[in-house]
Each structure stands twice: as structure tokens, then as C-alpha cells.
Amino acid sequence: MSNPLRQVFNKDRTFRPKKKFEPGTQRFELHKMAQASLNAGLDLKVAVQLPPGEELNDWVAVHVVDFFNRINLIYGTIADSCTEQSCPVMSGGPKYEYRWQDEKSRKPTALSAPQYMDLLMNWIEVQINNEDLFPTNVGTPFQKNFLKSVKKILSRLFRVFVHVYIHHFDRIAQMGSEAHVNTCYKHFYYFVTEFGLIDTKELEPLVSAQPR
């Protein structure tokens, strides 16, 4: 593994612990299938497509967890330069400000980027560890609101890409990790557009970075 990628995957820099799939489960097998496609250099547009005979919700669940892990790691590499002083507002340039809202804070609240990231990663962790929302046992049905919940998770994860690309890409470039981050973003973009999981308006902040 090259030095820049070793920096990206340095466990000491991980912003949150990685979520893992239990060996022997259907979700674990799907995860291995998805990773094998990526490692084989398969076209990302093809790699994100639902494999024949597989359930959409299972495929989506695997990717949500994988994207959480990867984006979590990417943010971890620049977290030391994303501070209260450098990023007093969670934003994606002057046109886009992201305010935090959850079950506890009904009113959207302005936060610094590091505060927002901390709440976001913690909130997503709670979601993906919720057995009712992300069941791990084979045969346990997904809730009817599963895809709706996933759309909210993915749209918020996209904001991490926005902030990193617009405010911290020089740091990524210094580490020589542009190719890795770009590949992660392309994988994410092709997946969410393949299944319509993010409103196109949400994607506007990175319109110039969208792969063709």
C-alpha cells in the first residue's frame, strides 16, 4: 500500500471506530462481493449495480455502512486542520451552510464544522447499529421507512465530501491522496444516483466534481 493510502487508512486517525459485518452473515457475503468488484478494477458504474437475485435493501445497507467507514476515515485524515478557528461554520463554500437538526434539536442549529462532524458521525453510528433499522439476521425484514432513513444518512454523508473538497482538499493533495478520495467520491456518486438516494439539488455543491 502506498504511503498516501497508508495515511488515509491509519487507524490512529480514524474519526470513529469502523463498523464491521459479522462473518457468515448474508451482509458479510455481500460486502465481500462488493469489495471484490472494486479490487478487480470493475467499472464503478457497473460495480454499484444490484447483483442478480439480491435484495435491494441488503445491497443498500452494505454500502451505507461501507461509505460511513470510508468517509469517516477520509475526514479523520484532515480532522487536525478542521478546527473551531479554521471552520467556525459547517459549510461548503460561501453559498452552502449546513445546520444540524435531529430528534433532540428540532430547530436547525448553526455549528462549527468539527462540532457538526462529531454529531453527524455519532448519529449515523446509532442508526447503523440499530437492529430495527439495519437488521443483521437473515430473514429479518427491513422497516418500511428504511430507504427514507438511508436517504437522510447519505445526504448528510455527502456534506462531508462537500466540506472536504471545498475547504480541505489542499490537505488531501499534500498527502498525495487525491486519487483515493476521488475514487471514493465517484463510488458514492454512482451508487446514490443509480438508486436515486440523494435529491439532485443536494448534489449541486459539487457539480463541478461530478463524474461523467
Residue with cell 437488521: 135
**97: DSSP letter:** B
DSSP states of 12-77 as a string?
Answer: GG-SSPPP-PPTTSHHHHHHHHHHHHHHTT--HHHHTSPPTT--HHHHHHHHHHHHHHHHHHHHHH
Ramachandran bin of 196, using left for φ above 0, alpha for ψ from -120 to 50, beta for the remaining angles: left
Residue with cell 462473518: 23
Is residue 82 annotated as involved in ligand binding? yes
Contact 106, 100 (CB under 8 A): no
Contact 77, 7 (CB under 8 A): yes
Is residue 184 annotated as involved in ligand binding? no
Is residue 31 annotated as involved in ligand binding? no
Return d(Cα 50, Cα 164) in angstroms, integer. Answer: 29
Q: Which residues are annotated as a binding site for Zn(2+)?
A: 82, 87, 163, 168
Binding-site residue set: 82, 87, 163, 168
